Amino acid sequence: MDMVFGRNKEEHPEPIKAEVQGQLPTWLKGILLRNGPGMHTIGDTKYNHWFDGLARLHSFTFKNGEVYYRSKYLRSDTYNCNVEANRIVVSEFGTMAYPDPCKNIFAKAFSYLSHTIPEFTDNCLINIMKTGDDFYATSETNFIRKINPQTLETLEKVDYSKYVAVNMATSHPHYDSAGNILNMGTSIVDKGKTKYILFKIPPSVPEKEKKKSRFKHLEVVCSIPSRSLLHPSYYHSFGITENYIVFIEQPFKLDIVKMATAYIRGVNWASCLAYHKEDKTWFHFVDKKTKKEVSTKFYTDAMVLFHHINAYEEDGHIIFDIIAYTDNSLYDMFYLKNLTKDFEEKSKLTSMPTCKRFVVPLQYDKDAEVGSNLVTLPSTATAVKEKDGSIYCHPEVLCEGIELPRINYDYNGKKYNHVFATAVQWSPVPTKIVKFNVQTKEMLYWGEDHSWPSEPVFVPSPDAREEDDGIVLTCVVKSDPKEAPFLLVLDAKTFKELGRAIVDVEMPLDLHGMFIPEKDLKTETE
């Protein structure tokens, strides 16, 4: 277990040629780039939580039938400060750091209280984002780091808060057909209001402004006021359809006052996040054209979600699929003290991840009776009109036990069939990957003993006609230290193995990433 979670992983900045077994498609050219935590111990100090570890990028490059592996720590300011001090001096969400115990702690505390939200870390360990022809490592703070996807070199730091009033932003942006990036961030107690801000980053800037950052052209699409000034909802992703943004305000909330005093109280920021199971979960739909929110109040029961799968419109309804929990036990599982040798046997989630489909009637008969179901599509999901005019939505359960969902992104915001995901039963560590058909409910699996696969990434074939024409890539870490990790290539249609690229290195479990086709990579001269 320590092999996979606790130990710092070595870097491999120079490419290592992988041993290819089987037959990889000849058209597969580009880079699979992955991100996740890789260093958990610095000097005599250790992070409390697996999600706090210093970011480590790793990649598989496909070139002329050969595969090369690289890995490198993100040289964030956080990394540099910690390594230079040989101890953790920058706080992460699950680990509060006290930079200099000799300094007057009260002076420090007052400087923290003067701005409610402390200076956040730029340890961007969650995902990769594409903006135009640039790539960034991202997390959920206001900082992102530009990187070179070919060499994994760390480039400049971008602070979202210089361009839009957000203190944090998601690591799961969306991309529209014009190449714009849509993302959401939370603005905490700005001018006496706490709100969720939807913003857009253009893929390029006008020729005469080439020297300027494209972030200077960032545009606020709209803002949604938080239902509570001091308890904004935590969210990890959001949904998008052809005409709407889907935002879920869940009762998994940050306590701003607790966050402001966490430093003096000697607790981590994670302890300021609480699940209010007696509250409702509210759905917000923003019309992309008018930039206005749909006025009807739609809600469901309390739940915790991290990942939206997809959303689309059909006959006046918005249909969206998410993975939801009935509690917040998932985060607690990954405290390093819980990641012991018998973690797989011992660690049991108290809530199984459940794939839920909500069907929300945007156009409905305003004279419908109270208590009537307004959904007119064939689905077991319902939307019932309440006395006060609000609408209570109850989902259809599509399946259980899947996480880290991916789709063919060409079908994002459209009616679709297939989800590629990791299979997790009551343990949070995936042992299989799955292909799930949301229409027929058919489930195909790939798994192998002692294998922990990562989030599966779908890559369409160049002449794809159907949604699942292509391949699925996943990095497989072995829980047996004698076995080498590998990159697995599956036929997305049949879910059968085409080949694998084996690398004799210690590969970490990672979180998210993307496949970058060769055509999207800059040549050396650029």
Task: Look up residue 308 and give its two tokens.
Answer: 């939206």
Task: Look up residue 187 and give its two tokens.
Answer: 């603005």
Average predicted confidence (pLDDT) for the chain: 89
Residue with tokens 């999901």: 381
Contact 334, 314 (CB under 8 A): no
List, as one string, the DSSP characters of 476-493: EEESSTTS--EEEEEETT
| CB atoms inside a 10 Å sphere around CB 177 | 9
- The 10s digit of each residue's pLDDT in 29-59 is 999 999 999 999 999 999 888 888 999 999 9
Beta-bridge partner residues of 219: 200
DSSP state of 92: B
Cα→Cα distances 486→21, 50, 88, 493, Å:
10, 22, 31, 21
The rounded distance, in Å, linking the Cα atoms of 34 and 138 is 11
The model's confidence at residue 290, banded by pLDDT at 50, 70 and 90, is: very high
Minimum mean pLDDT among 126-130, 198-202, 436-440, 477-481: which range? Answer: 477-481
Which pLDDT belongs to residue 275? 93
The rounded distance, in Å, linking the Cα atoms of 510 and 335 is 16
Which pLDDT belongs to residue 267? 85
- The 10s digit of each residue's pLDDT in 53-62 is 999 999 999 9
| CB atoms inside a 10 Å sphere around CB 261 | 16
Does residue 420 carry a pLDDT above 70?
yes
The rounded distance, in Å, linking the Cα atoms of 515 and 354 is 27
Average pLDDT over residues 301-326: 97
Long-range CB pairs of 149-156 (<8 Å, 24+ gap) are: 149/31, 149/33, 149/59, 149/516, 149/521, 150/31, 150/61, 150/521, 151/13, 151/70, 151/72, 152/13, 152/57, 152/58, 152/59, 152/70, 152/71, 152/72, 153/72, 153/75, 154/74, 154/75, 154/76
Average pLDDT over residues 232-244: 96
| CB atoms inside a 10 Å sphere around CB 158 | 21
- The 10s digit of each residue's pLDDT in 79-98 is 998 898 898 888 888 888 87
Average pLDDT over residues 93-111: 59
- Please classify residue 416 by burial: count the beta carbons closer than 10 Å to its beta carbon, then call 0-12 exposed, 13-18 middle and 19+ buried: buried
| pTM check: above 0.75 | yes
Beta-bridge partner residues of 2: none
Which pLDDT belongs to residue 524? 56
Residue with tokens 């006008």: 206
Average pLDDT over residues 56-84: 94
Instruction: With H, G, I as helix, E, B as strand and everything else as coil, classify residue 274.
Output: strand
Check residues 331 and 219 and name the one with the higher pLDDT: 219
Does residue 314 carry a pLDDT above 50?
yes
Binding site as annotated, residues for Fe cation: 172, 236, 307, 512
Does residue 245 carry a pLDDT above 60?
yes
Beta-bridge partner residues of 399: 355
Q: E-assigned strands of 64-111?
A: 66-73
Binding site as annotated, residues: 172, 236, 307, 512
Minimum mean pLDDT among 107-116, 254-263, 491-500: which range? Answer: 107-116
Does residue 511 carry a pLDDT above 70?
yes
CA 242, 130, 458: angle at the middle one, nearest 5? 70
